[in-house]
Amino acid sequence: CSPTLNPNSAHRQLQMSADLSTVTWKKEEQPYSDHGERFKQWEIVLCFENFSSGGHYWEVDGGDFVALISADFKTVRTSTHTQPYPYNSVNEVSWSLKKWGNAYKAVHNETETKLTVRDAPKRVGVHLDWEAGVLSFYSADSMSLLHR
């Protein structure tokens, strides 16, 4: 099951596909209506699904990105500048894979792990195995493991 993006939560610089399956960062703001769930400070969009069982897989387009997974992300939803920087995975219930330039890092509970990635993938696959308690990041191009 792939996640469905929640348009009411999308930051205005994130453009979603019509089927709510992909998101692209845009320099210009999108004309979204005001909504209490909308992220105003960070370029984030939530999905509708709350996973509590099973296996789930989705992909993130290449380029510079942050793929962030959180068990409870509602705590960073307000528009104030006192929000924690969510890309840092500042707690035990959030994980992220970051890419800037040629550098890749996996982050969990404020601990960063630098990753060695030989061929920069065009897409990164994220696989959650809920029952096993395992979150894995793959190069979707070759299905080689980036981090588990």
Residue environment code for 119-147, b if the CB has 16+ CB neighbours within 10 A, otherwise e: eebeebbbbbeeeeeebbbbbbeeeeebb
User: Which region among 35-49, 70-84, 87-101, 121-135 has the lowest average model confidence (pLDDT)?
Assistant: 70-84
Question: Is 33 domain-assigned?
Answer: no
Q: Mean pLDDT for the chain? A: 77
pLDDT surpassing 80 at residue 67: no
How many of the other CB atoms lie within 10 Å of CB of 107? 20
The per-residue pLDDT for 28 is 93
* 128 vs 135: CA distance, rounded Å: 5
The confidence score (pLDDT) of residue 65 equals 63
**The total number of structural domains that make up the chain:** 1
Q: Is residue 105 part of a domain?
A: yes
In a domain, 99, yes or no: yes
* Position with higher pLDDT, 73 vs 49: 49
**Domain with 59 in it: what CATH number?**
2.60.120.920
User: Domain containing 141: what range?
Assistant: 51-147
Is residue 91 in some structural domain?
yes
- Position 39 in a domain: no
Which pTM does this prediction carry? 0.72
Residue 2 lies in a domain: no
**Residue 110 resides in a domain:** yes
Tens-digit pLDDT profile for residues 11-60: 899 888 899 988 888 889 999 999 888 888 777 888 888 777 888 888 87
Among candidate residues 35, 33, 37, 34, the one with its CA nearest the CA of residue 47: 37
DSSP H helical segments within 24-136, as ranges?
Answer: none
**Would residue 16 count as lying in a domain?**
no
